């Protein structure tokens, strides 16, 4: 019967059998230590017997083994216990040293990232690397729970689409039997259509962007967390994201605080109501503080995004802020966005900045058929394009006011831990120059 190493603590004085990987080996004659890794953690084993030690000769990190021995309290050991008098059974011998160290922190310096990613299959066995993806899995679970509690239904929409209606250069195309297909850049139209069915829907699935830029923020494939809700207003959407971000951060720190310390990660300061600023207010505040003048610009400069988050951290106890006051006349206003009814110059949109960068754009959608058709034409699209038929069909037969958001799972994980590059928070990243492993 196998015992997980994390359960050894409850077995002091008893004999247990653990199975796992050789994680570290210090053979110094006399007393020899090895440590064993399984899914629950690490345990130290003291090997004194010569015959047992002999079994470990030539065995490298990664060797799969089974150890039966006595659990002994040892205050200096991880978890407070270690295994003595082991009987060792080698399940799978490993004779070569791994190409990347797994018992010391791996370098995440920009110049070392290619090495890190090239050796992902082994490098991920490093406990510090594992933390990133345990946190990511919990973020995902936490987000889903929040959706469920708010009456959302999970949907699965196709990633293979007929030719792109919106896309342009950033779309991947492929031959689909005798047609051409494209890969979905987002489930935008489908989630809007599904508001007409379930009112509140979410999807967490891959999306694909043929991004030509090689930056720390771009990948050609990522996991998009999409939510869309009907019969709501922009403040309802903001409330939802407020709750969502607070919930995720609380869940992650409740479960992984010790692991996050290895990354020097600090729990984000978040007020229960994330403070809100108009773009123009931020321009003013920033100008006062720095003398740099962006007033009149209808977007924030990256320096302003960073600055306002730091300012809000100091003055509003929040590392997140909502930014409103977005122009309905700019290029970022899409044909399916909704202009504010009282002030049609402005979009019904709020961006959520978190730790210096935008992590999600919340936006109301135009739900009136005639107005969407007008906006399509204004933007140079042809409403008769068959790709628009499903969305326009849903609107023709009754869509309520609705809005939603899309959020990159990797980017959120990145900001929570404080990693520099979104690819560090991706198991097997894809970009313009990387398609393996």
Query: Of 68-97, which residues contact its own copies (CB under 8 A)?
Result: 91-92, 94, 96
Among 165, 186, 223, 361, binds its own copies (CB under 8 A): 223
Contacts of 282 (CB under 8 A, 6+ apart): 300, 304, 308, 323
Region of 8-16, 58-66, 237-245, 283-291 interacting with its own copies (CB under 8 A): 58-66
The window from 26-34, 42-50, 154-162, 260-268 that contacts its own copies (CB under 8 A) reads 154-162
- Shortest separation between residue 279's beta carbon and its own copies, angstroms: 30
The dihedral region occupied by 67, where left means phi > 0, alpha psi between -120 and 50, and beta the remainder, is: beta
The neighbouring-strand residues paired with 203 are 226
Which is nearest to 187 in space by CA: 327, 333, 328, 336? 336
Which span (117-125, 251-259, 267-275, 300-308) binds its own copies, by CB under 8 A? 117-125
Residue 243 beta carbon to its own copies: minimum distance, rounded to whole angstroms: 18
Which of 3, 131, 157, 165 is the binder for its own copies (CB under 8 A)?
Answer: 157
If binding is defined by CB under 8 A, does position 1 make contact with its own copies? no
Q: 27, 140, 301, 357: which one contacts its own copies (CB under 8 A)?
A: 140
Among 50, 179, 291, 331, binds its own copies (CB under 8 A): 179
- Among 75, 76, 169, 436, the residue binding its own copies under the rule CB under 8 A is 436
Which residue(s) pair with 351 in the sheet?
A: 323, 361
Mind giving me the DSSP string for 203-250? EEEEEE------SSS--SEEEEEEEEEES--HHHHHHHHHHHHHHHHH
Decide whether 26 or 368 has the Cβ nearer to its own copies. 368
Closest CA to 410 of 418, 422, 419, 420: 422
105 near its own copies, judged by CB under 8 A = no
Pairing of strands 179-183, 160-161: antiparallel
Query: Could you say whether residue 176 binds its own copies (CB under 8 A)?
Result: yes
Q: Angle formed by the axes of helices 389-396 and 369-378, to 10°?
A: 150
Q: Which two tokens stand for residue 355?
A: 């730790």
Q: By CB under 8 A, is residue 98 in contact with its own copies? A: yes
> Is the Cβ of residue 80 or residue 400 nearer to its own copies in the bound state?
400
Distance CA 410, CA 136 (A): 7
Choice from 84, 85, 108, 159 touching its own copies (CB under 8 A):
159
Q: Which residue shows structure tokens 């007020």?
A: 271
Among 279, 309, 394, 419, binds its own copies (CB under 8 A): 394
8-state DSSP, 359: E
Distance CA 79, CA 36 (A): 13
What are the tokens at 359?
Answer: 């992590």
C-beta of residue 334 within 8 angstroms of C-beta of residue 259: no
Q: Which of 72, 74, 108, 133 binds its own copies (CB under 8 A)?
A: 133
All residues at 6 or more sequence positions from 253 whose CB lies less than 8 Å from its CB, including other chains:
260, 267
Judged by CB under 8 A, does residue 262 bind its own copies? no
Contact between 64 and its own copies (CB under 8 A)? yes
| Binder of its own copies out of 105, 121, 235, 302 (CB under 8 A) | 121
175 binds its own copies (CB under 8 A): yes
38 near its own copies (CB under 8 A): yes
Q: Confirm or reject binding of residue 174 to its own copies (CB under 8 A).
A: yes
The answer to whether residues 404 and 193 touch, using CB atoms and an 8 Å cutoff, is no
Position 21 contacts its own copies (CB under 8 A): yes
Can you tell me which residue has the tokens 């004659």? 29
Q: Whole-angstrom Cα distance, residue 420 to residue 9?
A: 37
Does position 384 interact with its own copies (CB under 8 A)? The reply is no
Per CB under 8 A, the list member of 177, 258, 288, 341 interacting with its own copies is 177
17 bridge partner residues? 2, 68
- Whichever of 173 and 327 has its CB closer to its own copies, that residue is 173
Q: Containing H/E element for 18?
A: strand 15-26
Output the smallest distance, CB 321 to its own copies, in A.
28
Does 198 bind its own copies (CB under 8 A)? Our answer is yes
Shortest approach of its own copies to residue 317 CB, angstroms? 31
User: How far apart are the C-alpha atoms of 383 and 392, rounded to whole Å?
Assistant: 8
Structure tokens given for 150:
């708010």
Between 53 and 427, CB nearer to its own copies:
427
């Amino acid at each position: 019967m196998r015992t997980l190493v994390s359960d050894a603590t409850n077995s002091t004085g008893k004999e247990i059998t653990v199975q796992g990987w050789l994680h570290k080996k210090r053979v110094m004659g006399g007393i020899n230590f090895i440590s064993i890794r399984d899914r629950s953690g690490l345990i130290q084993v003291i090997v004194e017997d010569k015959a047992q030690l002999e079994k470990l000769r030539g065995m490298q990190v990664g060797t799969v083994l089974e150890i039966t021995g006595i659990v002994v309290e040892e205050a200096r050991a991880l978890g407070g216990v270690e295994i003595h008098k082991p009987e060792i059974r080698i399940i799978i011998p490993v004779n070569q040293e791994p190409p990347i160290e797994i018992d010391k922190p791996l370098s995440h310096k920009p110049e070392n990232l290619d090495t890190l990613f090239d050796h992902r299959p082994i490098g991920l066995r490093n406990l510090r690397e594992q933390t990133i993806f345990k946190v990511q899995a919990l973020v995902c679970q936490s987000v889903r729970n929040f959706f469920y509690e708010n009456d959302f239904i999970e949907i699965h929409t196709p990633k293979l689409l007929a030719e792109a209606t919106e896309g342009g250069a950033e779309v991947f195309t492929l031959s689909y039997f005798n047609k051409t297909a494209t890969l979905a850049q987002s489930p935008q139209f489908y989630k809007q259509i599904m508001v007409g069915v379930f009112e509140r829907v979410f999807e967490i699935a891959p999306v694909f962007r043929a991004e030509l830029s090689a930056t720390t923020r771009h990948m050609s494939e990522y996991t998009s967390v999409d939510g869309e809700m009907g019969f709501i207003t922009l403040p309802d959407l903001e409330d939802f994201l407020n709750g969502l971000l607070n919930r995720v951060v609380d869940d992650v720190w409740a479960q992984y605080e010790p692991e996050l310390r290895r990354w020097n990660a600090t729990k984000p300061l978040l007020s229960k109501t994330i403070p809100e600023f108009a773009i123009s207010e931020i321009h003013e505040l920033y100008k006062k503080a720095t003398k740099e003048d962006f007033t009149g610009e209808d977007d924030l400069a990256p320096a302003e995004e960073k600055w306002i988050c730091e300012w809000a951290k100091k003055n509003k106890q929040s590392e997140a802020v909502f930014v409103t006051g977005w122009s309905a006349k700019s290029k970022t206003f899409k044909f399916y966005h909704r202009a504010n009814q009282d002030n049609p110059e402005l979009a019904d949109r709020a961006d959520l900045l978190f730790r210096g960068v935008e992590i999600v754009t919340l936006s109301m959608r135009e739900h009136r058929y005639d107005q969407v058709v007008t906006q399509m034409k204004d933007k140079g699209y042809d409403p008769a394009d068959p790709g628009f038929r499903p969305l326009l069909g849903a609107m023709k037969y009754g869509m309520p006011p609705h809005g939603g958001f899309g959020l990159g799972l990797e980017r959120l994980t990145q900001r929570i831990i404080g990693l520099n590059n979104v690819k560090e928070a991706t198991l097997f990243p894809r970009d313009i120059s990387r398609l393996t492993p």
